[in-house]
Structure formats: structure tokens, C-alpha cells
Amino acid sequence: MTRPRSEEAHEKVIHAALALFGERGIEATSMDAIARASGVSKATIYKHWADKEALLMEVMVFLHGLDEEREDYDTGDLQRDLAAVLSHKPPGEQEDARRRLVPTFIAYSAVHPEFGTAWRHRVTEPPRQALKRILERSIRRGLLKPDVDLDVAVALMLGPLLYWHIFVNCKQPSPDDRHIGPEVAEAFCRAFLTGRAGGCDQPGKREG
């Protein structure tokens, strides 16, 4: 079946913008250049995106797989569920493009704080909410103390991942494709699980 022309044009623009942002940088890439590279008129592009930042946001959402619905992990094992969320990886076929563009994107966000804030909300809110749901269930099951500050707990888990991505893996990827999500989950459980849980790997009782 032939795809609608609007859908095909949309995809061409996303891929052209992705290539140009990575090659030239975000500031140096104009909507005119994206139109030429994609073969899609600028008038059509503006029907899909209000401005370059709206297009950039969608490019980054595409790169990180944020348009996919996240699974709500609930195996009854706190460490396993946390590790599943913390180990979530974007689509592997875009890994090289992500590595090229992310440093440029971080620099752009630093000088465009409103956009940076919108992006941080977009990229961090789904895992934050997923982790909070897991922690709330664990409190109800008696695996965590009821006075655990959920925002602090989530920050303690996401902070190491951001550090790893920005300062370690983004510059020199691990040859064995190592991901520290499971290690972060284990460290959190060792620090916060109550004695009732009987250790990091002990599954809690599932709710009916």
C-alpha cells in the first residue's frame, strides 16, 4: 500500500533535519536547508511544524524512541522492575546519529533554556512517572518505608544514568554495550529495601 504523500513528506523532513543537525549543528541549519535536503517545500514543512525548535523536538523524540508507549513493569520484584525502567534503551538503529547529535543538542539547550526545559520534561517525565508507580506499589507492599520521598528516590536513580550518558558512554561507548541501570537498581534496593523484603532479589507479594 502506498503511504499518503503527507506522511512520506513528514518522514523525509525528519531524516533530512536529523542529518543536517548532526553535520552542521542546530544553529547553522536553516529551514531553507532542510527544505532543499528533503525535497519538501518550506510551506509544507511549516504545515507540520510551527518552527525549527518544534521540528528539533520531534527529531529528538524520534531519535530516543519517546513516541513509543512504555510498559508498566510489575513483576512483584522491586529490583527487577526498577532495572527494567532504568535500562530502557532507544532504538539501536539510531545509536550513531544519537551519539553525533546529543552533544550538539545539549549545547543548544544550554543557550535556549526554555527549549531545554521543555525537552528535559519530555525525556525525563515518562521514566520518572514509571519509577514513581513502582515505588508507590512497593510502599503499599511494605517493601519500602512509607516516609520515602519519591522525588528524592527517583533523582537518586536517574542522576547516575544522566552522568553516565553525558560524561561516559556518549564520548566512549562501552565495548560490551554495558548499561548501568541494573547496577543502579541494585544499589537503590540495598540502601532502601526494608528488612521485610529479605534482600535485593527477594520478590514482594503482588497485589491482587
- State the average pLDDT over residues 175-195: 84
pTM of the model: 0.68
User: Does 72 map to a domain?
Assistant: no
Both 158 and 101 in one domain: the answer is yes
Distance CA 163, CA 180 (A): 11
pLDDT, tens digit (0-9, with 9 covering 90-100), for 196-207: 543 455 444 444
User: Does 202 map to a domain?
Assistant: no
Both 10 and 99 in one domain: the answer is no
The pLDDT score that the predictor gives to residue 183 is: 95
pLDDT, tens digit (0-9, with 9 covering 90-100), for 64-117: 887 777 788 999 999 999 999 999 877 667 888 888 888 888 889 999 999 999
Q: How many domains does the chain have?
A: 2
Q: Output 180 or 69, whichever has higher pLDDT.
A: 180
Both 85 and 164 in one domain: the answer is yes
- Compute the mean pLDDT over every residue in the chain, rounded to the nearest whole number: 85
Both 51 and 91 in one domain: the answer is no
Domain boundary at 31, 63, 95, which?
A: 63
The pLDDT score that the predictor gives to residue 178 is: 67
User: Does 17 map to a domain?
Assistant: yes
User: Does 47 map to a domain?
Assistant: yes
Distance CA 22, CA 11 (A): 17
Q: In Å, how far are 161, 171, 198 from 89, measured between CA atoms? A: 12, 17, 30
Question: Any idea how long the chain is?
Answer: 208
CA 6 from centre of chain: 27
Phi, psi of 72 (to 5 degrees): -95, 100
The pLDDT score that the predictor gives to residue 156 is: 96
Both 122 and 184 in one domain: the answer is yes
What nine digits make up the cell of 110?
Answer: 544550554
Residue 175: what residue type?
Answer: P
Both 123 and 155 in one domain: the answer is yes
The pLDDT score that the predictor gives to residue 172 is: 56
Both 59 and 87 in one domain: the answer is no
Q: Determine the structural domain holding residue 57 and report its residue range.
A: 5-63
